[in-house]
């Protein structure tokens, strides 16, 4: 694992009723440059690790900016981040990217965001604007007032910004959007898993190039509310309880197990564990496994998925 960077909170700002913008500067030396779609992992004092997209393109000003939506109930990450004040110190990982912007072609680029899912897309849009690629953005949220950076995006994109707000009774026509994209278009999207799954299904149904659909999740809700569950790892002679405010991956780390992981967002599959036996229901919250693989319940991503109403015996691949 790369060395962590000690940073200091330089400013905080409310962007809406439940979204806080936080800017970090390096406490010891200059921050490394980052690219469009990069994210950092913030290491909280209690041992939790949370991933946040860096907002806006790198400007060589020694500032990283993120935006955090407070969730209710919070698992500890968003509530803590909202409590930060200028001068507070935190350790972060160097920027990494699982959601790269392709600049190797002149393909038309379109963007789709749901709520706080706008954060990784802003840097991409800014760079494409500078290159005169004229990207289009479809942006959905509860209300324009609750949608972070909407004013800046209006100024940047003008008529190429398409807003849908629940309080105005407007919704994005996902099938219409995908159907009307140019054949060579690339679509980058980030938002709730329901929106992502709907677009992926439409994309496949219409027979579009699967490599032209790029996406990243920011949070995956489950079918069941968070509850504690019991986990046994026979090979390690280990039994532990996973509390309702931690993931299985975090619980394993808490007791000294060092499982493999990368994204901590249910995207890469590196942290997956094999199911030996199950009492209860696996609440799959990843975007890595197919519907058929989830139904088989042979494995699940320990960074996001849970067991509802029971216990599970697992092993590591």
Q: What domains can be seen in the chain, in order of their start residue?
A: 5-92 (2.40.30.10), 109-217 (3.40.50.80), 229-315 (3.10.20.30)
Q: What's the pLDDT tens digit per position in 16-60?
A: 889 999 999 998 889 999 999 999 999 998 878 888 999 999 998
What pLDDT does residue 158 have? 97
Q: What's the pLDDT tens digit per position in 88-125?
A: 999 999 999 989 999 888 899 999 999 999 999 999 99
* Vertex 101: Cα angle to 96 and 104 (nearest 5): 125
Dist CA 302 CA 265 (whole Å): 10
pLDDT at 73 over 80: no
Closest CA to 139 of 65, 208, 83, 195: 195
Q: What's the pLDDT tens digit per position in 125-142?
A: 999 999 999 999 999 999
Sign of CA dihedral 258, 264, 267, 273: positive
CB-based contacts of 119, cutoff 8 Å, min separation 6: 52, 53, 54, 55, 66, 67, 148, 190, 218
CB 238 within 8 A of CB 257: yes
* Vertex 233: Cα angle to 230 and 239 (nearest 5): 45
Angle between helices 150-157 and 119-130 (to 10 degrees): 20
CB-based contacts of 11, cutoff 8 Å, min separation 6: 21, 22, 23, 86
Closest CA to 188 of 238, 254, 122: 122
What pLDDT does residue 1 have? 46
Find out whether the peptide bond into 73 is cis, omega within 30 degrees of 0.
yes
Give the percent of the chain with pLDDT over 70. 96
């Amino acid at each position: 694992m790369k060395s962590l960077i000690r940073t200091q909170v330089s400013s905080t700002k409310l962007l809406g009723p439940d979204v806080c913008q936080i800017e970090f500067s390096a406490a010891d030396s200059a921050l490394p440059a980052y690219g469009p779609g990069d994210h950092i992992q913030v290491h909280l004092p209690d041992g939790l690790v949370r991933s946040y997209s860096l907002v806006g393109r790198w400007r060589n000003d020694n500032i990283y900016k993120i935006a955090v939506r407070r969730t209710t109930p919070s698992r500890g990450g968003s509530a803590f981040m909202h409590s930060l004040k200028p001068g507070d110190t935190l350790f972060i990982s160097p920027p990494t990217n699982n959601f790269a912007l392709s600049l190797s072609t002149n393909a038309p680029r379109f963007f789709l965001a749901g709520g706080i899912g706008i954060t990784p897309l802003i840097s991409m849009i800014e760079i494409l604007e500078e290159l005169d690629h004229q990207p289009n953005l479809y942006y959905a949220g509860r209300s324009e007032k609750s949608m972070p950076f909407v004013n800046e995006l209006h100024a940047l994109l003008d008529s190429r910004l398409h807003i849908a707000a629940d309080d105005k009774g407007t919704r994005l026509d996902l099938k219409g959007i995908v159907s009307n994209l140019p054949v060579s278009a690339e679509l980058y999207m980030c938002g709730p898993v329901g929106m992502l799954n709907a677009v992926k299904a439409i994309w496949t149904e219409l027979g579009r190039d699967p490599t032209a659909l790029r996406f990243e999740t920011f949070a995956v809700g489950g079918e069941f509310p968070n509850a504690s569950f019991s986990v046994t790892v026979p090979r390690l002679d280990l039994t532990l309880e996973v509390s309702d405010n931690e993931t299985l991956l975090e619980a394993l780390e808490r007791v000294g197990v060092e499982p493999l992981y990368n994204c901590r967002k249910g995207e890469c599959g590196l942290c997956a564990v094999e199911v030996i036996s199950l009492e209860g229901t696996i609440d799959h919250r990843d975007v890595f496994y197919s519907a058929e693989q989830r139904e088989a319940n042979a494995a699940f991503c320990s960074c996001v998925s849970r067991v509802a109403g029971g216990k599970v015996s697992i092993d590591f691949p």
